[in-house]
Amino acid sequence: MKRTYIADLKDHVGQEVTIAGWLYNKRSSGKVRFVLVRDGTGICQATAFKPELDPAIFDLCDSLDQETSITVTGVVKAFEKAPGGFELGLKNLAIVGVSKDYPITPKEHGVAFLMENRHLWLRSSRQHAIMRIRHQVIRAVRDFFDDQGFTLIDSPILTANACEGTSTLFETEYFGEKAYLSQSGQLYNEAAAMAFGKVYCFGPTFRAEKSKTRRHLTEFWMVEPEVAFMDLEEDMDLAEAFIEFVVQRVLSRCAPELKVIERDVTKLANVKRPFPRLRYSDAMTFLAEKKAEFAKSDDEELRKLSADILKNGPGDDLGAADETAIGMSHDRPVMVHRYPAAVKAFYMKNDPADPNFALCVDVIAPEGVGEIIGGGQREEDLSVLEGKIAQHGLSGDAFKWYNDLRRYGSVPHSGFGMGIERMVGWVTGAHHVRETIPFPRMMEKIWP
């Protein structure tokens, strides 16, 4: 079917074109019918004027239901007030597929209902805009690393070892043996960094998260760079340059989408290097101050948050409320580094200055989603690493190949992982990460 995309109408002013899409909305006024059609690239108003039209076509305009698929033919006119700035003087209209009782109407629906209808919800303008932003985030991620000479190395999804602890593994049977869906491509990335110097992997990762929070999915996409001879400080430099690039790219390429979702872009404009760097121990002091400050606030929300700050106590990982408090007190991402080694993964290198702490970093977004990046410097000494593997109760056999990387020319190296959905959640201001992936997978959600 010869058709013109709505996004390309600017190149066809004065010409007759056919648009193929779905009925978004319609209005009538006397002898005029306004047919709003969306085709995925935009929304266009086709205007039917009774005296100039075959009566059957005019009547057809009245019969259209929401989401009926149609073709409309007419001459393109520039018209500032129309959505997208162009209008079609309707000459012909044909129905491709009818749509009766489309479940998602312009009225408000509950989230449970919308999630049940995710396959249709994706057509709504807000969801459409968020997915377009996700697409640009992914393009920016690839461009950033590709332009700096990183090689993309795909890591396997079926794996024999755990990377991020054994409590969130999805297990499957693999020809009589146990296998797991990958929690992270990092271990393979480390092998690749020893072959290519600087690499990244980017793919779906899986965690059997039993927590029902707005930040957790069981299947999410993660991009992970890994660089040989890079230390923690350089890792943090890389993370902040990367985040700045992605955010600024979204600002420059997604203005229409950000407008649809009514995102306050002034908050994103601040996202420029350098980002604040806070030692874990200083973060604890900062949180204790915030806890006291929020407890005295007139704002009930802040008082509630105060009660949840530092629930985990010193020596533990930060909790969701801690991350929220750190995020909301800054206008750009905050890099919290050197957590207690005991709460972090087996592969982290201990800080030589104080081995109770790990050379790691979590980057916390200034609004909403909490941690967007986790990473750090890896243990490069074979005997120390073997000790940590045993300490974490992991099977030495499964890590034989990984330990080889310390046997044959081991070097200091570092990297990080960024969850695409958390990043998209932050830049779009989506309240829950379920809106940032086309078909979210969560504890009680594997359908549609």
Nearer to ligand 4AD, 232 or 418 (CB): 418
How far, in Å, CA of 416 to CA of 429, rounded?
23
Q: Among 21, 42, 74, 419, which residue interacts with ligand 4AD (rule: CB under 6 A)?
A: 419
Stretch touching Mg ion by CB under 5 A, among 11-19, 31-39, 246-254, 369-377: 369-377
Q: Which helix (H) or strand (E) holds 287?
A: helix 280-295
375: partner contacted, choices Mg ion, ligand 4AD, none (Cβ within 5-8 A by kind):
ligand 4AD
45 belongs to the binding site for ligand 4AD (CB under 6 A): no
C-beta of 135: minimal distance to ligand 4AD in Å?
18
- Between the CA of residue 53 and those of 50, 92, 122, what are the distances in Å? 5, 8, 34
How many CB atoms within 10 Å of residue 266?
8
How far, in Å, CA of 189 to CA of 170, rounded?
21
Strand partners, 19: 72
Q: Is 148 helix (H, G, I), strand (E, B) or coil?
A: coil
For the four alpha carbons of 339, 342, 344 and 346, in that order, the dihedral sign comes to: positive
What x-and-dash track marks residues 276-315 binding ligand 4AD by CB under 6 A? Answer: ----------------------------------------
Nearer to ligand 4AD, 34 or 170 (CB): 170
Contact 74, 17 (CB under 8 A): yes
Q: Among 70, 133, 217, 309, which residue interacts with ligand 4AD (rule: CB under 6 A)?
A: 217
Picking from 359, 361, 335, 339, the residue whose alpha carbon sits closest to that of residue 275 is 335
C-beta of 188: minimal distance to ligand 4AD in Å?
10
Residue type, 382: L
Nearer to Mg ion, 38 or 422 (CB): 422
425 belongs to the binding site for ligand 4AD (CB under 6 A): no
Nearer to ligand 4AD, 43 or 199 (CB): 199
247: partner contacted, choices ligand 4AD, Mg ion, none (Cβ within 5-8 A by kind):
none
How far, in Å, CA of 402 to CA of 151, rounded?
20
374 belongs to the binding site for Mg ion (CB under 5 A): yes
C-beta of 345: minimal distance to Mg ion in Å?
8
How far, in Å, CA of 209 to CA of 350, rounded?
27
Count of residues engaged in binding ligand 4AD, rule: CB under 6 A: 24
Angle at 153 between CA 141 and CA 137, to 5 degrees: 15
Sheet arrangement for strand 177-181: 158-159, 177-181, 171-174
Q: Among 416, 429, 436, 440, which residue interacts with ligand 4AD (rule: CB under 6 A)?
A: 416
DSSP designation for 348:
B
333: partner contacted, choices Mg ion, ligand 4AD, none (Cβ within 5-8 A by kind):
none
Stretch touching ligand 4AD by CB under 6 A, among 31-39, 280-288, 396-404, 411-419: 411-419
How far, in Å, CA of 448 to CA of 434, rounded?
13
375 belongs to the binding site for ligand 4AD (CB under 6 A): yes
Nearer to Mg ion, 194 or 343 (CB): 343
C-alpha gyration radius of the chain: 26
385 belongs to the binding site for ligand 4AD (CB under 6 A): no
How far, in Å, CA of 184 to CA of 202, rounded?
10
Residues of the shown chain interacting with ligand 4AD in the complex, contacts defined by CB under 6 A: 163-164, 184, 186, 207, 209, 216-217, 220, 222, 224, 371-375, 415-419, 421-422, 433
Q: Which residues bind Mg ion (CB under 5 A)?
A: 374
